[in-house]
Amino acid sequence: MTSEKSNTDYNKKIDNELKKKELEEKYGAMFRESENNLPPEVESDWLRSIEEFEEQFEGAKRTTVYDYMGKPSFKKLDEINAGEVSAELQRLYGILGENNISLDTLCEVADEDLYRFITEELFLHEMDDMRIPGMMSCFTYEEFHPNAKYDIEQACDYFFRFTMAKMENIGGEGYDMLYVDTANYLNSEGVAIDKHNVVSSINNFLSSFNRFEIMTNTMNSIDIDEDQTNAKVNFFIHYKGLFDKSSEAINFKGDACFKLKPSEYGGWDMYHIDLPGLTIE
């Protein structure tokens, strides 16, 4: 005999499937098969929140962060005593949080710079005038003021942790080269190399070994030009190419460098790689 709860769950599942079709037809929503594993009540609440978001988004007006926060009182930075800046900054952070707005930083930023940023830039920034329980509007300081050194370090770190780790290239062949500008790659003489050759050279080298072990990776310098349009990272590296069924290892050791430039998608990309063992031609 079917229990009352089973009948309720079954009916709720039918309602959820109908709601999904409605959201797909009305807003172009897309749902993955894995989402069917949610308990019916949880899925129903989730679909309700999606519908509320879409309804508000469809008719949402634009407003400034300052107006969204209710136009809180504040002083200009030059009107605040140096010892009071941190307290005033925390007060503004509190008001942001009360309005479900978060501001994070990826790098260390002085309290004075953060206060100036909030009151002179973020307050004027436009956002959707919509409020949904549990929804946060998230901002990052570096979205407005990119930190070139941080972005360059991130690109280098990604190359060693993902590209050298032979992470699969999702949506393409070979390995992940997210921060390698394969379309605008230059050799050591500044001559362009065809994208196909760049990709195949890196993939072939990585495929020659089952895995790599980095023994030493010491960054010596990051040189960024004054206009922040070009950079060179110099480092010393020692790594091994290893085979799964053999104790044999090939050692690669020596000075290396990456040359990078800003990406049109944000961050910095490598347009030249000088790495012991890797030849791109």
Q: Place 60 in a pLDDT band, splitting at 50, 70 and 90.
A: low
- Residue 281 forms part of a structural domain: no
Contact 20, 31 (CB under 8 A): yes
- Residue 257 forms part of a structural domain: yes
- Residue 280 forms part of a structural domain: no
What's the structural domain count of the chain?
Answer: 3
- Tell me: do 85 and 169 sit in the same domain: no
Handedness of CA 36, 38, 43, 47 (dihedral sign): negative
Contact 119, 74 (CB under 8 A): yes
pLDDT tens digits along 199-220: 999 999 999 999 999 999 999 9
Per-residue confidence (pLDDT) for residue 36, from 0 to 100: 61
Name the domain boundary from 19, 36, 59.
59
Per-residue confidence (pLDDT) for residue 12, from 0 to 100: 75
CATH code of 182's domain: 3.10.450.50
- Residue 76 forms part of a structural domain: yes
Least confident of 1-10, 72-81, 123-132, 260-269: 1-10
Average pLDDT over residues 220-228: 97
Name the domain boundary from 34, 59, 84.
59
What is the extent of the structural domain holding 180?
148-274
Q: Taking the CA of residue 238 as centre, how many other CA atoms within 13 Å lie in the half-sphere pointing to its CB? A: 2
Per-residue confidence (pLDDT) for residue 114, from 0 to 100: 98
- Tell me: do 133 and 87 sit in the same domain: yes
pLDDT tens digits along 153-203: 999 999 999 999 999 998 778 999 999 999 999 999 999 999 999 999 999
- Tell me: do 86 and 116 sit in the same domain: yes
User: Exposure pattern of 3-32 as b/e (b: 16+ CB <10 Å)?
Assistant: eeeeeeeeeeeeebeebbeebeeeeebebe
- Tell me: do 163 and 267 sit in the same domain: yes
- Tell me: do 42 and 134 sit in the same domain: no
- Tell me: do 23 and 88 sit in the same domain: no
Per-residue confidence (pLDDT) for residue 6, from 0 to 100: 67
- Tell me: do 152 and 270 sit in the same domain: yes
Name the domain boundary from 41, 59, 77.
59
Tokens describing residue 249: 């290892």
Distance CA 67, CA 131 (A): 13
- Residue 183 forms part of a structural domain: yes
- Tell me: do 184 and 216 sit in the same domain: yes
- Residue 173 forms part of a structural domain: yes
- Residue 247 forms part of a structural domain: yes
- Residue 102 forms part of a structural domain: yes
- Tell me: do 116 and 166 sit in the same domain: no
- Tell me: do 41 and 15 sit in the same domain: yes
pTM of the model: 0.75
Distance CA 213, CA 215 (A): 6
- Tell me: do 53 and 90 sit in the same domain: no
Give the list of residues 6+ apart from residue 177 with CB closer than 8 angstroms, or none: 163, 169, 199, 202
pLDDT tens digits along 109-148: 999 999 999 999 999 999 988 887 777 899 999 999 999 9
- Tell me: do 164 and 137 sit in the same domain: no
Q: Place 1 in a pLDDT band, splitting at 50, 70 and 90.
A: very low
Contact 281, 187 (CB under 8 A): yes
